[in-house]
C-alpha cells in the first residue's frame, strides 16, 4: 500500500447540506453532499481557475414559500441556481468554461409519490439550465436510489456513490 502524499494529508472536505450551497477555489478542498433522494445536486466547475460550486436543492419552485427563498435561496431550483452561478462568477469562473454535473431527483417513495418532487426538481433544474444556455456535461438523475456526490477541486474529478456502487466522473 502506498504512503499518502503530503498534499493528501491536508485535504479538506466541505459538506453541503440539504438546501445549501458551497463554492470555492481552494484546491485542497473536496465538495461533498450526501443522501440525494428527491433532491438534486448541481456541480459546476471551471477547470482553468479550478473554482467549483455544489448546490443541493430540495424543491423545484420558491413560489410555495417566498419568505423561505429569501432566507435560504439554495433550497429551491429557481433561486439556488442563479445564486450558484453568481457565486462562481465571484471567483472568476467563466460561464463558457463551466462543466456541469447534475445528480439526484430520484423517486424514493416509488410510484405512489403523489407530488413527484424528484421528477419536478429534475425538470425545473434542467429547464433552468437550458433556458440560460448552460451545457450539462453529465447527469445521473431519476430512478429510485439515493446518491452522494464528492468533487475534488484540484483534479476536477468526482465520485458518484449509489449504495454499494461508486462511479468516477471528471469535469476537468
Q: What DSSP element (H or E) covers 18?
A: none
Task: Give pLDDT tens digits for 129-150.
Answer: 999 999 999 999 999 999 999 9
Task: Give pLDDT tens digits for 43-65.
Answer: 999 999 999 999 999 999 999 99
Separation between Cα atoms, residue 111 and residue 103, nearest integer Å = 20
Place of cell 478542498: 29
Mean pLDDT score across all residues of the chain: 93
Mean pLDDT check: name the lowest of 23-37, 98-112, 130-144. Answer: 98-112
Asked if the 11-147 domain carries CATH number 3.10.620.30, the reply is no
Q: What is the mean pLDDT of residues 76-93?
A: 98
Query: Within a 10 A sphere around the Cβ of 6, how many other Cβ atoms?
Result: 7
- pTM comes to 0.92
Separation between Cα atoms, residue 165 and residue 7, nearest integer Å = 27
| Domain boundaries defined on the chain | 11-147
* Residue 89: predicted pLDDT: 98
CB–CB of 99/156 below 8 Å? yes
* Residue 7: predicted pLDDT: 60
Query: pLDDT band at 108, cuts 50/70/90?
Result: confident
Query: pLDDT band at 115, cuts 50/70/90?
Result: confident
Amino acid at each position: 500500500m502506498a504512503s499518502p502524499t503530503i498534499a493528501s494529508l491536508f485535504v479538506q472536505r466541505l459538506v453541503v447540506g440539504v438546501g445549501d450551497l458551497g463554492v470555492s477555489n481552494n484546491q485542497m478542498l473536496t465538495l461533498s453532499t450526501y443522501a440525494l433522494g428527491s433532491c438534486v445536486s448541481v456541480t459546476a466547475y471551471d477547470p482553468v481557475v479550478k473554482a467549483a460550486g455544489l448546490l443541493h436543492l430540495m424543491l423545484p419552485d420558491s413560489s410555495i414559500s417566498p419568505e423561505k427563498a429569501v432566507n435560504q435561496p439554495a433550497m429551491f431550483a429557481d433561486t439556488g441556481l442563479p445564486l450558484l452561478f453568481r457565486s462562481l462568477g465571484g471567483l472568476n469562473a467563466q460561464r463558457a468554461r463551466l462543466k456541469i454535473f447534475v445528480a439526484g431527483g430520484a423517486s424514493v417513495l416509488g410510484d405512489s409519490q403523489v407530488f413527484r418532487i424528484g421528477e419536478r426538481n429534475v425538470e425545473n433544474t434542467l429547464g433552468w439550465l437550458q433556458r440560460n444556455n448552460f451545457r450539462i456535461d453529465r447527469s445521473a438523475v431519476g430512478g429510485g436510489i439515493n446518491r452522494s456526490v464528492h468533487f475534488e477541486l484540484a483534479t476536477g474529478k468526482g465520485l458518484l456513490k449509489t449504495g454499494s456502487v461508486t462511479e468516477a466522473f471528471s469535469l476537468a
